[in-house]
Amino acid sequence: MMNVEENLIAKENNYGANSITALEGLEAVRKRPGMYIGSVDTKGLHHLVWEVIDNSIDEHLAGYCDKIDVIVHTDGSVTVRDNGRGIPTGMHDKLQKSALEVVMTVLHAGGKFDKDTYKVSGGLHGVGVSCVNALSIHLKAEIHREGKIFVQEYRRGKPLYDTKLIGESKDTGTYITWQPDPEIFEEVDHKYEVLATRFKEIAYLNAGLTITLTDERKPENGGFKHETFYSQGGLVEFVQFLDEARQPLLDAPIHTKGEEDNVEVEVALQYNTGYKENLYSFVNNINTREGGSHVNGFRRAINREFKNYGDENGLFKKLKIQVSGEDFREGLTAVISVKVPEPQFKGQTKGELGNAEVTGIVSRLVGNAIKTFLEENPKEARKIIDKVILAATARNAARKAREMVQRKTPLTGGGLPGKLADCSSKNPEESEIFLVEGDSAGGTAKQGRDRHFQAILPLRGKILNVEKAFEYKIYENEEIKNIFTALGVSIEENDEGDRILNVEKLRYHKIVIMCDADVDGSHIVTLILTFFFRFMRILVERGHVYIAQPPLYLVKKGKQFRYCWTEEERKEAIALYSKGENDSSIKIQRYKGLGEMNAEQLWETTMDPNERILRRVTIEDAVQADSVFSMLMGDEVPPRRAFIEANAKYANVDI
Ligand code: 0RA
């Protein structure tokens, strides 16, 4: 039986809440939090912040808010404060509660009541601030509105008292402070970098909106760690930021903004001298990782307009092969932001826009902008077309090189590289391959492994810096050829001439990168990861790629010993073995390289599925990963070190 609250349909009332429908109690949220916020891990925890801030952004989009302050407190609670209109506080006739209480305690009532603003819905966002309330051990809402200050507090979603007047205010706005419930969340520690990265993105997507982030857990210069995120130029600046480490081709990004049938479209794009496509798309400020109809419309416009321009001006005459869609996108960086009144999300992670009508709208608006740009800027147009021709030529050369590589050579037995020590199992699901830095560590790994299901491929030296290399060069690289053939994957072309990775014959479901636990080792891990990101991304997305974690120390006393992976474990081991303060019979060995371990030790610590720690590599945030990788490939050392720390983001699992 549904209770009364779950069943209520609110009608017209004194604050115009005529669009509240299907009210439910908050118990449902506490019972099945995953249904509402996706998960109860660190991702779910941060989801609460996105949820609250989405409401403030809606106020910004409606034209009432230009500043949002976010504060992380020492007790782990978070405050989001905006200068919007403030959540209405008047009494709701039928429910005999304040509007604030309805918004905070009734599911799906949190949104704007006027339909003119774009509501962020679908996907995982848009569940309402009431979900945040339900999942918080304590929440306080303070509203500045109509010259007054109102407040109400809640415990696990239940009001502690009726909305009350506590003072006067000249400003308007909503202040929400919540403490995530440790009974619900596995993790209650907000990550500064996760918040900062998203706020930066939000600032670019909403030109003119200021967001500040203050972390009271982190004292700094007599105050606290604090950052302000603001962009005057919006998407144009976003594209420039994404391309910071690259050479631009055009004087300035091409920018367009328009509206058709209530769908707002804004796009900025730039070409750089690199070879990669960097496309970021958003629907109502939410990153659509899997693309969708808006991205299809954008690609359609790019293909059509550049192709037409090249054909009309006879620029493709010299080219002996057909240009493909991909050629127009090499070295293209673009941000596509659409605002759709009722977005439909689909795909595996609900990260793909489904609304079919958006394709034509984006295609028309972007197409017109490109056409105009090309007509008005013939010099820049030539630069782009020359690049497209180069891309097509290089693609052709790459295809030839690839065919050479992928042709099986009878000498190496079924085409497998000579350096590969394969496992005996032919079942990919149970098979693992270790990509090992250096021939000597490779040798140790070969001795230490379980040859039934573990294969070893030693990699010599630093593999090619793929970010900077031309694609056909990649296929000439011995180490990279070996990775392709050992894994059993190949690059193929589809009907449109676009390249896709064929993973049907993948020979191992675990691909483990095993390098020294020092700076050089981390650099090599990074290079290999960059390679996977660029050429075998689907393997990362499907969770096949791991990083081995060799121990950092061996603590020994007589016949007793312990391997340690962290400083803490090292201290624990010393404490365990030591009799007095300075027990000189304890020996501590710091493992700098894999080479310092013998085969048995390497097996015990790093390869044995029962003992080892593997980190699965995930692509949490394409924007972040991409900028990190581009930065890494620069010549500076500090950003590289930052990446090594960011490695900690990879989930710690071994299944
Ligand atoms: C309902 C109606 C209106 C605004 C809001 C909710 C609102 C919610 C949040 C959550 C965080 N910040 C917020 N700011 C506003 C419209 C109010 C009106 O018409 O005056």
Q: CA distances (Å), 436 to each of 186, 450, 525, 547, 618, in order? A: 34, 15, 10, 11, 20
Which pLDDT score is estimated for 162?
97
CA of 112 to the centre of ligand 1 (A): 6
pLDDT at 615 over 90: no
The pair of structure tokens assigned to 300 is: 């359609």
Of 238, 54, 222, residue with least CA distance to 131: 54
- Boundary of a domain, candidates 496, 526, 550: 550
User: What residue owns the CA closest to ligand 1's atom 7?
Assistant: 87
Query: Where residue 630 falls among pLDDT bands split at 50, 70, 90?
Result: low
DSSP string, 172-183: -EEEEEEEE-TT
Q: Mutate which of 87, 101, 105 to test ligand 1's pocket (most atoms within 8 Å of Cβ)? A: 87
| 78 and 221 housed in the same domain | yes
Question: Whose Cα sits closest to atom 2 in ligand 1?
Answer: 112
Q: Residue 602 burial (CB < 10 Å; 0-12/13-18/19+)?
A: buried
Confirm whether 560 is domain-assigned.
no
For ligand 1, atom 1: residue with the closest CA: 112
At residue 295, φ and ψ (nearest 5 deg) are -70, -40
Is the pLDDT confidence value at 116 over 70? no
Residue 97, C-beta contacts closer than 8 angstroms, at least 6 positions apart: 91, 105, 162, 163
pLDDT at 635: 37
Mutational test site, ligand 1, from 59, 89, 117, max ligand atoms within 8 Å of CB: 59
**Which among 294-308, 349-363, 499-513 has the top mean pLDDT?**
294-308
Query: What's the pLDDT score for residue 583?
Result: 73
Looking from the CA of residue 176, the nearest atom of ligand 1 is 11
User: Does a structural domain hold residue 3?
Assistant: no
Pocket test for ligand 1, best of 69, 81, 117, 174 (most atoms within 8 A of CB): 174
pLDDT band at 300 (very low <50, low <70, confident <90, very high): very high
State residue 259's pLDDT score: 96
Backbone angles phi, psi at 392, to 5 degrees: -65, -40
Q: Would you place residue 13 in the very low, low, confident or very high pLDDT band (cuts 50, 70, 90)? A: very low
User: pLDDT value at position 118?
Assistant: 44
> What pLDDT is attached to residue 529?
82
Structural contact between residues 436 and 419, judged by C-beta atoms closer than 8 angstroms: no
pLDDT digits (tens, 9 = 90+) for 493-530: 777 667 788 999 999 999 999 998 887 887 788 778 87
pLDDT band at 539 (very low <50, low <70, confident <90, very high): very high
Is residue 154 domain-shared with residue 247, that is, in the same domain? no
Q: pLDDT tens for residues 129-184?
A: 999 999 999 999 999 999 999 999 999 999 999 999 999 999 999 999 999 999 99
Percent of all residues in the chain with a pLDDT value above 90, rounded to a whole number: 61
483 with 415, same domain: the answer is: yes
Q: Are residues 425 and 516 in the same domain?
A: yes
CATH number, domain of 356, equals: 3.30.230.10
Q: For residue 648, what is the enclosing H or E element? A: none
Task: Indicate if the pLDDT at residue 274 is higher than 90.
Answer: no
Shared-domain flag, residues 336 and 307? yes
Residue 52 alpha carbon, nearest atom of ligand 1? 11
CA of 394 to the centre of ligand 1 (A): 54
Whole-number pLDDT of residue 240:
95
pLDDT computed for residue 112 by the predictor: 43
Host H or E run for residue 458: strand 454-459
Which residue, of 359, 382, 399, is where some domain finishes?
399
pLDDT-derived band at 399 (thresholds 50, 70, 90) equals confident
User: Ligand 1 atom closest to Cα of 84?
Assistant: 14
Mean pLDDT of the chain: 85
pLDDT of residue 466: 63
Whether 126 has a pLDDT exceeding 60, the answer reads no
Distance between Cα 88 and ligand 1 center (Å)? 6
Q: How would you classify the pairing of strands 97-98 and 164-168?
A: unpaired
Per residue in 411-427, pLDDT (tens digit) is: 334 578 889 999 999 99
Can you give the pLDDT at residue 527?
Answer: 79
Task: Average the pLDDT over 193-206 and give the result.
Answer: 95
Q: Which domain holds residue 310?
A: 235-399
> Of the candidates 229, 252, 269, which is a domain's last residue?
229
The pTM of the full predicted model, rounded to 2 decimals, is 0.69
Comparison of pLDDT for 348 and 239, the residue scoring more: 239
| Average pLDDT estimate for 387-403 | 84
Same domain, 360 and 269: yes
- Distance (angstroms) between ligand 1 centre and the Cα of 85 equals 6
Active-site residues, by number, are 437, 516, 518, 520
Nearest-5° angle of CA 229, CA 143, CA 226? 25
Question: Of the ranges 9-23, 160-174, 387-401, 479-493, which one carries the lowest mean pLDDT score?
Answer: 9-23
Pocket of ligand 1 (CB under 6 A): 55-56, 59, 82, 84-85, 87-88, 103, 112-113, 129, 174
pLDDT band at 309 (very low <50, low <70, confident <90, very high): very high
Same domain, 297 and 388: yes
Q: Mean pLDDT across the stretch 99-115?
A: 71
The preferred substitution site among 50, 52, 58 for testing ligand 1, maximizing ligand atoms within 8 Å of CB, is 58
Q: 526 and 445 in one domain?
A: yes
CA 234 – ligand 1 centroid, Å: 24
Output the pLDDT for position 125. 47
Query: Which one, of 498, 494, 478, lies nearest residue 486 by Cα?
Result: 478
> Separation of 130 CA from ligand 1 center, angstroms?
13
pLDDT beyond 60 at 303: yes
**In-domain check, residue 610:** no
**In terms of C-beta distances under 8 Å and separation of at least 24 residues, what long-range contacts does 499-502 make, across chains too?**
499/326, 501/535, 501/536, 501/537, 501/538, 501/539
What mean pLDDT is predicted for residues 318-329? 91
Give residue 286's pLDDT.
87
**Does a structural domain hold residue 103?**
yes
Domains identified in the chain, total number: 3
Domain co-membership, 240 together with 197: no
Residue nearest to atom 16 of ligand 1 (CA): 112
Residue 256 lies in a domain: yes
CATH number at residue 478: 3.40.50.670
The 10s digit of each residue's pLDDT in 376-393 is: 999 999 999 999 998 898
Q: What is the DSSP string of 327-394?
A: GGGTTEEEEEEEE-SS--EESTTS-EE--THHHHHHHHHHHHHHHHHHHH-HHHHHHHHHHHHHHHHH
Residue bearing the CA closest to ligand 1, atom 10: 55
Question: What are the distances in angstroms from CA 52 to CA 35, 68, 82, 293?
Answer: 18, 11, 10, 28
- Both 115 and 173 in one domain: the answer is yes
Task: Tell me the average pLDDT across 522-545.
Answer: 84
Q: Same structural domain for residues 83 and 224?
A: yes
Residue 4: inside a domain, yes or no? no
Q: What is the CATH number of the domain that holds 195?
A: 3.30.565.10
Name the closest-CA residue to atom 6, ligand 1: 87
Is 246 a member of any domain?
yes
Q: Please check whether residue 123 lies inside any domain of the structure.
A: yes
Q: Are residues 193 and 252 in the same domain?
A: no
